[in-house]
Structure 1
Amino acid sequence: MLTPSHLQQLTRQGMIEQALRQVDIEHEFSLVFQPVIDLRSWRTVAFEALARWNSPELGDVPPGQFIPIAERIGLINRLTTHLLGKALLIASDWPRHICLSFNLSAHDCASDEIAGQIIEIIKASHFDARRLDLEITETAIMQDVVKVQHTIDRFCRLGCGVALDDFGTGYSSLSQLLSLALTKIKIDRTFITGIDENPTRYKIVKSLVALSSDMQLECIAEGVETREELEALISLGCFFVQGYYFSQPMHHSHIDNWLKDN
């Protein structure tokens, strides 16, 4: 029997799906950018592009709500290609030492056709692929390891970096990770929150940082919100971080001032 909360959730999902089926991607979807900080120099080294949807009917809809539905109804690939092109255009004005991170859906990685479209968009942008990190979740990898491995190899041949996003929340085995041409690991925020007070989380992150070092991969901690969390990460040797402690995701028009001030 459906509870009132479940019924409300289903109603909300139905409204989101209906709005997505009629969405004007060009005008309703936008990007914000969150800086990635190198703690050894306290300088910004990259920005992660994050999708935002402002629906005329529903208002601001969080990515955690619209992305699963966009994947289910087959809209996610159109979103990816549109927003990637927009992100590359914006990033083309950044200083040459600043990189761009962009998230891919599991559906983007499972299709040779979509992977080819992504590669063509990158080529056409004239943005140096060596400054672009494509982020892929463990969920995407587990759906079809062989297919994703082939897709990652194509991105790497282009010069892109490939980051494993939300690391630690999925079920990837070490043998599968070692078979992929990854360049970065991003530790999920669920392990970072309260790391200074939770011995279990501290030990988990310590292991993940050591693993990334052994695999010669950069390690980025997401969701840093307090000075105590930051100091715990420094003690573990994790030097690339992002989170509200430094900055909320910002409109691209604020990036120049951010870089001047930081």
Structure 2
Amino acid sequence: MTEREMLEHDLREAVAAERIVPYFQPIVSLSDRRLLGFEILARWAYPERGFVPPAEFIPLADDLGLLDSLLDQLMRTAFAAAQDWPHHLFLGFNVSPTQLHDRGLAARVEQAAADHDFSTTRVHIEVTESAFIDDLARSNEIIQMLLELGCVVAMDDFGTGYSSLTWLSSLPFSKLKIDAQFVRAMTDHRQSRKIVSAVIGLGRSLGLAVVAEGVERVSEAEMLRQLGCELAQGFLFSPPVPASEVPTLLAADAARPEADAQQPRLPMSAELRAFQLSEIYKSDLTAIAFTDPGGTVMKSSAAFDSLMDAHARDVTGRRIGEFIPVTRETLAELRALDLMGYSSPAFEETTARGALVLIVIRPVKDEDRELLGFSIVCADITHRGLSPSVPPVAEMQTGTGQVDTGWSWQLDGKGLVVDVDDPDTPDRQQHTALGVGWMDYVHPEDVQGALGAWAEAVATGKTYDVKLRLHNGDGRYEWHRMRTSPEFGVDGAVISWHGRCERIVSALQEPLQHEVLDALSFSFDYGAGLQWIAAADGTLTRLSAALKDGWSGRRQALGTTTRDAHRVRLYEYLPAVDLIGVRHRYEFLLGAAEPFELSYEVFTTDGETAVACCRAVPRRQADGAVTAWHGAFTIVTAGPV
């Protein structure tokens, strides 16, 4: 019997006897190292040889048709082990392309999860790029069935196998994993760094969560974070461990200082929450619907039914995509954004009945952060500000600006440019920037704010993320978003900066700006929005009735009244939880004198917290100087004010 034949025989026996066991490797957030979930890796302890490398026995199991049995065993064992773990943690399982031909795959995942009371919304399926998918239509069908269950589907080992871009363009993945070989080489080889940066940019542009595999060094984690990667796994955080060692990892994660510093939330009773939700769905003012993780409408308000020109009994139980252009792929992308820690963007679509609506979709989770479904809020903007019921924030979205793909750069510890990689700038011009202090390129009016934020980043190690004007080399200044973090040496001194710069393309032209402001003025008197006007220095001068009346009780609790509005700034009137941090961002945005968007956590009227999204545009005089600010709030995670 040959060595391969012996290995085949022993592998069959090991699978039959369930001797191949799951090991758990943590996947963490790079921003704060918090634990998000685990990738499940198969481990086989061979009696004579010790652990057999997965790269040796997994392809053999595929050839022998054993992968389905192996996957079932790993799922059952992992689900059983994770029953008492925090319910926000996900488990990721590897599936080969050949397994995507099996129409029973989704049913097997669902059954294994149900047998152990494990939510399928916590299951991530990672498709390894180890073989060619010869039937994309069949694979797409299987993935759609997994998405129906609320699973997240990822492309594993991106760039190492077959037809990566074809897969991405044809199959509805919601997560992308960068292979370890690129990650390990990127700190030493510029080409690898460019590849990693390009993959991260590709993932984010497609709305995919991006995970870097094989992170072993702090320098790799920092560079990934600076390039915009949000998630990672590797020996730097933990090697794969058996289930018996996971509680130690969970205890360490729970003991993180960040967890201790979080503000406690006052619990609401289930009855009160149910009452509030019931009242919202009875409303003929708020167009809101709730779907399950797969996109089936479970509940809708009277206003939503009216906007969709349908009766309630004709909405419940149907796909949300039958009313507005929201697909399962859209929900998967929003899941990915949520996984990366980003807020879901608002977007405009046309309903099946022809109405133009502004749509905001938010994941809904329980106390354990387990996904329950999606909340979908719509506003009719068909007449764009001519109707008193239309919130002006819909118009003001055009003033937030758009960014291009950007470019990378590196500074030394003193802030001198040592590397620039801008595809839109000639090499000769890039070369002249080397050795120059980067502050020399900043617009004089922006230097003070830029230096203040820079000093804060050095002192705290936090990400430097600002909007400012940079000299473009031909006598003009252009708005950019700059994002970087300092890299510290063993002595605590800053040794380098790796960052990204993105040109901001303003989408708000002057005629449209005046149209928006006219709509704002109209709806101040007749609308129900949370609107405000401030002087050039940011102090409030006028509030809409809804903003005055809705928050008056909270203002009195803080010892002030609505009459104080003209003496405070908006983050004081709608009190910010992080007052100092929001004040710094607010003042910098005012100094930029451009339309802006500012989201921050506020104390609500019932003493809890919510996220307020503020958008504002400047009113200018003939010489371009700002004379006033017009803005509006959207409370995105709270009940009615």
The TM-score with structure 2 as length reference comes to: 0.38
1:21 maps to what in 2?
12
2:249 maps to what in 1?
258
Separation in 1 of the partners of 2:94 and 2:102? 15
Among candidates 136, 139, 157, match of residue 145 of structure 1: 136
How much has 1:109 moved relative to structure 2?
1.5
1:53-72 correspondence runs (5 A): 53-72=44-63
How much has 1:27 moved relative to structure 2?
4.4
More helix per residue = 1
How much has 1:32 moved relative to structure 2?
0.9
Change (3 A) 1:260 1:54: same
Report whether the alignment pairs 1:208 with 2:199: yes
Q: Please state whether the residue corresponding to 1:244 is helix, strand or coil.
A: coil
Separation in 2 of the partners of 1:46 and 1:53? 22
Percent identical pairs in the alignment equals: 38
Change (3 A) 1:176 1:21: closer
Conserved in 1, the CA contact under 8 Å of 2:96 and 2:129?
Answer: no
Among candidates 156, 161, 165, match of residue 156 of structure 2: 165
Conserved in 1, the CA contact under 8 Å of 2:15 and 2:69?
Answer: no
Change (3 A) 1:13 1:193: farther
Among candidates 79, 84, 89, match of residue 80 of structure 2: 89
| CA deviation map 1:50-102 (0-9, x unaligned) | 11112335432111111111111111111111111111111222101211111
| More off after superposition, 62-71 vs 98-107 | 98-107
Conserved in 2, the CA contact under 8 Å of 1:28 and 1:55?
Answer: no
2:233 maps to what in 1?
242
Q: Which AA in structure 1 matches 2:83?
A: S
Change (3 A) 1:22 1:176: closer
Conserved in 2, the CA contact under 8 Å of 1:47 and 1:99?
Answer: yes
How much has 1:126 moved relative to structure 2?
2.2
Among candidates 80, 98, 102, match of residue 71 of structure 2: 80
Q: Which AA in structure 2 matches 1:47?
A: F
Conserved in 1, the CA contact under 8 Å of 2:110 and 2:120?
Answer: no
Separation in 2 of the partners of 1:213 and 1:48? 21
Stretches of structure 1 lacking an aligned partner (at least 5 in a row): 1-9
The TM-score with structure 1 as length reference comes to: 0.89
Larger Rg: 2
1:3 maps to what in 2?
none
Separation in 2 of the partners of 1:125 and 1:151? 23
Separation in 2 of the partners of 1:154 and 1:123? 16
Among candidates 98, 101, 104, match of residue 110 of structure 1: 101
Q: Which AA in structure 2 matches 1:138?
A: E
Conserved in 1, the CA contact under 8 Å of 2:44 and 2:52?
Answer: yes
Report whether the alignment pairs 1:132 with 2:123: yes
Q: Which AA in structure 2 matches 1:182?
A: F
Conserved in 1, the CA contact under 8 Å of 2:126 and 2:154?
Answer: yes
Conserved in 1, the CA contact under 8 Å of 2:91 and 2:123?
Answer: yes
* RMSD of aligned residue pairs (Cα, Å): 1.9
Change (3 A) 1:209 1:22: same
More strand per residue = 2
Q: Which AA in structure 2 matches 1:214?
A: S
Separation in 1 of the partners of 2:28 and 2:215? 11
Report whether the alignment pairs 1:154 with 2:145: yes
Q: Which AA in structure 1 matches 2:57?
A: F
| More off after superposition, 131-140 vs 152-161 | 131-140
User: How many aligned residue pairs are there?
Assistant: 253
Separation in 2 of the partners of 1:94 and 1:210? 33
Larger RCO (alpha carbons 8 Å, 6+ apart): 1
